Amino acid sequence: MQMYFSCVNLLSATFSKILVILVLQLQLCLWFCIPTYTEAAKEQLPAAENGTLKFPGLFAFGDSILDTGNNNNLATVAKCNFPPYGRDSVGGIPTGRFGNGKVLSDLIAEGLGIKELLPAYLDPNLQSPDLPTGVCFASGSSGYDPLTPTITGTLSLFKQLELFKEYIVKLTGIVGEERARAIIANSLFLVSASNNDILISYSLIARKLHYDFPSYAALLVSMASTFFRDLYSLGARHIGVFSTAAVGCSPFDRNRGGLLRECLELELEEAAWFNSELSSELDYMRTNFTDSKLVFLDIYHPLLDLNQHPHKSGFQVEKFGCCGTGTIGVAILCNEFSPFTCTDASKYLYWDAVHPTERALRIVASQILKKYK
């Protein structure tokens, strides 16, 4: 048994080093001249029959919690457009979503009645009719800290904003400037971008050598605030910002939790600290952007509760992921040749070593949607 956990720890460290040493040069992209919108469109938001606000579209920025396939054609190991990813989706086809089915951005779009699936903006099969109801710009393994996507070879938030500017040009060409502004002003924008900053740039890389965690959290909050202001300047008026997840409880983190594979208290405390600072920043921003709605969306506590009391929600396994051995299998280490992959992911809280199953995310999404009732 001791030899088994030694092997797990060795493999865990090896995978971490893969992410650390993979520093890829992202291609420089063209800037697009987009007018900034200082006033939200006056079009009122109609209420749906169930009392939920009716948004014309949804846009997602950030990391793998929301990514629906933007990493597929990037030179990065942080991709999952291969089996068994997506095996429980319609058709069982891997699309680049980090899970066995839908991810959180899909589930919220579905719950709000916008669309069943939120397409990735970089999907080569994206069609013009998809644009008015929103797309996803998120990139798995990205973060607020620009060091994070540099390490992982994924799309920085700066690059995601550039793609959004490109999107605005395309949308304007389809529906006209006035309607495009109304769509953007009345749509919901989701942002999730702190998990990898804490797990990779701080815990594994040199940021820890230069910052204690409160200082690094303050840096992240400053970067996050700048990003929210940039979204506002481009017309966004309804912004939902996700907290950091219960990062210390993923199967990958539990590899360092001893023989009982307990959650890592230090990482949970760091996540909670950052979440408190981020929430306070959003409170402050609301006093300055009175024509907008900025909402802090807590996924930390729902996921922590699922980890601490999995059987209340019918989960049988929370310390291991469904894919492979359930300890280190994520991205390229979770593939169709992975041994021991489970047959029923609905019994598992986590699909791979990092990402929750669709069933777990549905529970979280149902709580998030209450914010907009």
Q: Cite the active site residues.
A: 64, 352, 355
Cβ atoms within 10 A of the Cβ of 275, count?
Answer: 21
Q: Encoding tokens for residue 349?
A: 């809280």
Contact between 169 and 34 under an 8 Å Cβ cutoff? The reply is: yes
Are the CB atoms for 296 and 282 separated by under 8 Å? yes
Q: What is the DSSP string of 282-322?
A: HHHHHHH-TTSEEEEE--HHHHHHHHHSGGGGT-SEEEEES
Q: Which helix (H) or strand (E) holds 349?
A: strand 348-350
Q: Which of 193, 214, 216, 226 is nearest to 273 (CA)?
A: 214
Angle at the Cα of 36 (from 35 to 42), degrees rounded to 5? 110
Q: Residue 43 and residue 324: Cα distance in Å, rounded?
A: 50
Contact 300, 269 (CB under 8 A): no
